[in-house]
Structures are given as C-alpha cells and as structure tokens.
Amino acid sequence: MKSVSVVIIGAGPAGLLLGQLLRTSGIETVILEQRSPDYVLGRIRAGVLEQGAVSLMRQAGCSERMDKEGIVHHGTALMVDGEMHRIDFRELTGSSVLVYGQTEVTRDLMDARAASGATTIYDAEDVSLSGLDSTRPVVRYRKDGVEHEMACDVVAGCDGFHGVSRRSIPADVLKTYERVYPFGWLGLLSDTPPVDDELIYINDPRGFALCSMRSQTRSRYYIQCGLDEKIEDWSDERFWDALQARLPDAHQSRLVRGPSIEKSIAPLRSFVAEPMRYGRLFLAGDAAHIVPPTGAKGLNLAASDVYYLWQGLKDFYHHGKSDGLDGYAEKALARVWKAERFSWWMTTMLHRFPDQPAFETKMQKAELAYLFSSRAAMTALAENYVGLPY
C-alpha cells in the first residue's frame, strides 16, 4: 500500500492552493480529482480576491501572472432607485480587492503543481475514505479500471459541495445549516469591455443585477431570475436587453454587447456543515460551506480555510504539535459564519424577493437608506468586502 503524508481530495483552487503551500513547507501531498483537468478549468466562478487570498497565492509562489494581470479595485458601487452610491474601500479601510478570475487562479496553481512534479491524479473514480477516526486513514480510488489505495496521516476534503469528503462523516456527527433562496443568477461571460471600472451592484424593481469583469476586455454580467427559468429560453439578445433595462441611465450607452462565451443559471444558497473536522479528515472550501455569490466570499472563504489548515499541518509536521489542527474547525467556522452573515445580508438587501410583503420592502429601503447615510455602516460593508483578518 502506498503511503503519503497528506491526501487532498479535489483539485479545485482550495485543494491546489493547499497542495502548493504544503509543498513550500516540505510536506508531501497527493491530490485526487474525479474530473479531468479540462473540466476543472471549465468551471466559471468568482473573480474578486481579498488581500488574504492574494497573499496566499504569493506565498505559494503562484502570483506572477496574477500580479501582472489582476485589476486592483479600491471601491464598488451600489445602485438603488436609479441612484449610484460608491463605497470607497481604500478611504474606509485602507485596503482593496483584486479582480482576477477563479479560472485563472486554478490555472496558475495547476501549472505550478505540474512544474513541481507533485502528484495529481485526475479522473480518479469511486474515491472512498476509511479509518478517519484512526491515526492512519486509508483512501481508495479507481484509475483506468485499476483499484488503488493509499495510507496517510491526514485527509483534506477540498472536493466541493457534492464530494465524498463531507459524506464520509457519520450522519449522527454531522450537522448542517441551510437557507435556499427563491431565485437564481443568470450569468453571461463575453469578450467585451466592462461597463464600468468597478463592480456595480444593482437593486432594481425588475430584480438584482451585477456588472462585473474578468479583465479590461472580458466582462461578466448577472441578472436575477426565477428558479424555473431555463437557459435555452435566454438568447444573448434577451439577456442584454434585460441587463440594459436595469442599468443606470449613464451606463446604458456604455454597455457593449457581444456573443456569450458562457451562459448559465446558478441557484443561490447559504450552507454550513459542522464540524469541519472528523478524526483525521479536515473539510475546506465548498465541502464545508456555500455562500451566495453576492458578497464575493466563496473562493475567499476557501482560502482562509486553507490558511488555517496549512498552519496547523506545519506545526504538526515540523514541531510535533497538534494544537493548530485541534483548533482548526473552531477558527475556520468563526470566520465562515461572519462571511455567511455578510453574504446573507448583501443578498437580502439587494434582491427583490417573490411575493415580498410590503413591510419587508420598507425594511429593505430603510436598510439601504441607513447604509448610504452612515459612514460607520459603509465602513462595516467595506471591512467585510475586502476581507476580515485571518
């Protein structure tokens, strides 16, 4: 039976980032991924990085392209009732965010791992975990019809919401918390210049919209849609018309239309699984929690999980101390729940809910009016958006 220090389940950004950070610390890892590299790179996800995530990419030695191509944003705009309100991150917090697509983060990490010679096994089927409550868990999988197994010290479950890691925790141990929202985001990616230099969040009677970007020549736009919508019913022209109708007047003429590269509908949910540790299994990223994308926290929460786990593993292997691993779940969850709160708050404040009672509508307007009239409220938004400290 093959033996390795750490087996990482999942070659998304969380698993790859953890693998690179552990490699810089001299800790051996094997990454198992059930999909192909092309499939992993085909996922279109987030594009806003907190400074913590940026710092981890640099510490992992994977920041050269990010530092060259990433776009620094010192603020963002919220449009309500046709009026634009800018939240100045730099003035309110002294910090900023970096716009750099999750696909590009994954590509950089994937390339760095391949160059290092570290082992990543793609198309690994029927992955199963056993002995998690022992000191030597065993990971089994099938590759090209051949069965394999590995013994390890630690399993890092970075395999997303539908992965095997969380499902391997006994049902009487695992507790989950969930809020499913009654709408989705219809997203379109196009090789067109963005409509503004910064992101614009829009609360409109027709529904929420977000104007985002991946670069100066690639835009990512979203509009709120019903859960019963079908992507085939949305032509590019229909999408552009719906988006333009929600834009502020000054930006409607700036919108550059073009053919979609990718178009999809994503449901919104808030989800947390506790505990994030079971024996020698440690959950990280979407395997443990999901946030609605409104607050740009999904990838960034995965990065903070990775940071806590990396620190714990360094102490475990270099100093024989287990305190960091023992405290991992508590530290990670404390930050997770703060991000869940912020993402829930942004979502409820900026979306129009189906059959929303008049009282709730008034409360939403009052919340927004207070936000724009209070420096303290705007600072709280900015602090959470740029990222709470690790």
Find out whether 185 and 152 touch, Cβ atoms under 8 Å.
Answer: no
Find out whether 142 and 125 touch, Cβ atoms under 8 Å.
Answer: yes
201 is catalytic: yes
Find out whether 166 and 175 touch, Cβ atoms under 8 Å.
Answer: no
Q: Strand 219-225's sheet: what is its strand order? A: 83-88, 75-80, 200-203, 209-213, 219-225, 175-190, 260-274, 289-290
321 is catalytic: no
293 is catalytic: yes
Angle between helices 358-373 and 328-350 (to 10 degrees): 110
Which residue's entry shows tokens 């210049």?
Answer: 193
**Of 13, 137, 292, 293, catalytic:** 293
Tokens of 51: 């400074």
Find out whether 343 and 46 touch, Cβ atoms under 8 Å.
Answer: no
**Of 74, 289, 297, 331, catalytic:** 297
| H helix intervals, 138-295 | 164-167, 236-246, 249-252
**Of 73, 251, 289, 314, catalytic:** 73
Q: Which residues contact 295 (CB under 8 A, 6 or more apart)?
A: 339, 342, 343, 345, 346, 347, 384, 385
314 is catalytic: no
340-294-371-333 Cα dihedral, nearest 10 degrees:
10
297 is catalytic: yes
Q: Specify burial of residue 92 (Cβ count, 10 A radius: 0-12, 13-18, 19+).
A: buried
- Catalytic amino acids? 73, 201, 293, 297, 385
